[in-house]
Structure 1
Amino acid sequence: MRVFVALAFACGATAAAVQPLAPAVDAHDIVSADSDLQSAAFDLESAPEELAGLEADHEAFVDAEPLDKRGVASKTILMPAQGSGAKPASNNLEQIQIDFIMGKKPVKQGNSMVPQYYCQSLRFTNKGSLRRRVLVTAQGRTIFQGFMAVRESRVVNAPSGISQFNMEVEAAPKSA
């Protein structure tokens, strides 16, 4: 019961503190047919000098890049070099984490066998709160393409003989 009394008091205090709205007749007079806002026209001859050089130029639009409305983020990622170590740093692009899973193979160096690490596979993990479309290409071939749900991980075999790959990430609509 005390809550309702306090709520009524707060509503009354708020209503008393707010200025009343203008009557509809006054509001109509502000924006009428003969208002300066509606009858105003922009004349280039009478424009201020600051606006004199603001005309559209067709040559400026020819070289312009189109607007990317979907918000596709892309990045070129370098593959870890052979023998670079057991755990290279992971990369992130738009909350998609790329981990390099390294393999170990023995290589003869002098008179002994030495372990050498190489990139065996790639793990893509969606760390964000949105479903994402991921496209990974290298040398014109598609390595991975797919939609990744929230907190989903995918492991893909790393192609041999590449030093870098391109990755594109964009937000994807929810599946129906």
Structure 2
Amino acid sequence: MLKRIYDILFAFKEYVLLVILLAVSVGLIASNDRPQIRAIRSVTVGVLGSAQNLIGIVPNYFNLRSENRILREQNLTLSEEVNRLREARLENIRLRRMLGLRDTSSTRYIAARVIGKSLQLLRNTITINIGERDGVHPLMPVVTERGLVGKVVATSRGYAVAHLLLHRDMRVSGQV
């Protein structure tokens, strides 16, 4: 058995060596934080983001009918909620004026689509389809309607990579 494995490894020794060297190179690049390496990472994020975006289109095509039905139902529910929230907002404005309070909300959100995800043990990341040209930069929060889910760690012109809350390097301050 070991002889057979040895023969296979010997027959493909160039490829085995290439894989080992590539793994070491990727490991060294990932652990380095110099500006030149950040530039390489940015280009890599862009290339991989483009590839994941193209690959992500194919499976979605087959689920369009069921997804469309679900989205229509959500649209109706959300339309009702929007109407309720508009009324509550108007009431809130009237009450604030009566009390002499001013509005302090100025948060700006940028919508994005997840085009790739890596859910490895303690290294959960996502790739999203927005980047530097959309105003995204490292350390920006990633949120959903339910709250914080992560932070951006790398960007390219049109894509960004974010660590999720379960990523081992993720740190968040909070107040209770």
Query: TM-score normalised to the size of structure 2?
Result: 0.23
- Structure with higher Rg: it is 1
Return the structure number with greater helix share: 2
TM-score (norm 1): 0.23
> Which structure has greater strand proportion?
1
